[in-house]
Chains A and B, each alone.
Chain A
Amino acid sequence: MRGTSLTAALMVLAVVLVILAVLYALGTIGWFANPSDVHHYKHAAAFFVLAVLAVVGANFARNRPVAG
């Protein structure tokens, strides 16, 4: 059960990170990024990589042995 919840949480996190990556790339948001840049491609790339890692984490959580 714990593995399923963690998998779901990590998948939601991955979706949120992809959305943030797209918004950074489009320049819609620019939190903590260089204000002189219109598009924040560095942040977009970083959030995309984190989203991929969240999916990998979800795959690990899915395969966790269930206790009891």
Chain B
Amino acid sequence: MTAAQALFMGLLQGATELFPVSSLGHAVIVPSLFHWSFKQSDPVFLPFLVLLHLGTATALVILYRRQWARIVAGFARAALRGRIQGEDERLAMLLVVGTIPAGVAGLYGESYFKRLFGNPRAAAGFLLLNGLILLGAEVLRRRGERRTSSRAEQEAAYLQAERLSFRAALLVGSCQILALFPGISRSGVTMAGGLLAGLRHQEAARFSFLLATPVIAAAGLLEVPGLFKPGVPLGLYTAAAVLSGFAAYASARFLIRWFRVGRLDPYGAYCLLAGALGLALLR
């Protein structure tokens, strides 16, 4: 991988990680479309991607730093007391419940999912499926929406993340398992799950970003030792991860504003188009 390619991949990963369009799918498809010579099935490709994800996780921690401080303190208080009091403690426990399924699935499915990284056509197919999931979630959501004068009023009728039930948090968290397939977006499926559980769009995005942070950070920390091998350009990879972090921070700020009244439809349409193009162009 050349320096320009690594930096481009960093920018691409950071920009696409939080948008519901699958960063992993793009990381597998785009190099194949450009006929870049490095192999996605290479043993250092996954740790490289994970390092980029660490850049994204750092951006999310910085963005939600005050909230994370309250969540961590809330978890410690509730765990010691054995009872939940207040919204921070409830959110902390919802995140714990939502994180367990993807954590366990990621650990045991790792070797199977690694094999899929070498198959850009499969990633394009999953990207297409991701588009259908996003559009399907919006279709189901619209059925339950009240007719009001403005979109903001319509959204206000839905829940805040802290009001989610534990069963719903478990289901939304379980949606993250689908994101282990390159092409299925973690933020996309968790936002879709959040919408179906009755969250506002903006809250579904916030819950998705908060839910993503521990999984991304844990996966990153566990895979980073794989980077310390001879021949791995660690400085370059770290620079790409920093670039990924900056892009993710900007994306998150944009999406938080977008989901005040915006929907998943444009991202669903993009995934359908990109997935179909990928399937047509990749042989």
Contact = CB atoms under 8 A, between A and B. Distances in A.
Contact of A63 (B81, B108, B111, B222): B81
A34 B107 contact: no
B82 A62 contact: yes
Interface residues of B, number: 14
Contacts of A62: 82
Interface string A26-50: 0000001010000000110110011
A60 B83 contact: yes
Given A53-B96, A53-B100, A46 B107 contact: yes
A63 B85 CA distance: 13
A7 to B, nearest CB: 10
B79 interface: yes
Main secondary structure of the interface of A (DSSP, over half): helix
Given A59-B82, A62-B82, A63-B82, A46 B111 contact: no
Q: How large is the interface on A (under 10, 10 to 19, 20 to 34, 35 or more residues)?
A: 10 to 19
Contact of B82 (A43, A46, A60): A60
A63 B107 contact: no
Given A34-B111, A59-B81, 19 more contacts: A32-B108, A34-B110, A42-B107, A42-B222, A43-B107, A45-B222, A46-B103, A46-B107, A50-B100, A53-B96, A53-B100, A56-B79, A59-B80, A59-B82, A60-B82, A60-B83, A62-B82, A63-B81, A63-B83
Interface of A: 32, 34, 42-43, 45-46, 49-50, 53, 56, 59-60, 62-63
Interface of B: 79-83, 96, 100, 103-104, 107-108, 110-111, 222
Shortest Cβ-Cβ A-B pairs, 10 listed: A63-B82, A59-B82, A56-B79, A42-B222, A32-B108, A63-B83, A60-B82, A46-B107, A62-B82, A34-B111
26 contacts: A32-B108, A34-B110, A34-B111, A42-B107, A42-B222, A43-B107, A45-B222, A46-B103, A46-B104, A46-B107, A49-B103, A50-B100, A50-B104, A53-B96, A53-B100, A56-B79, A59-B79, A59-B80, A59-B81, A59-B82, A60-B82, A60-B83, A62-B82, A63-B81, A63-B82, A63-B83
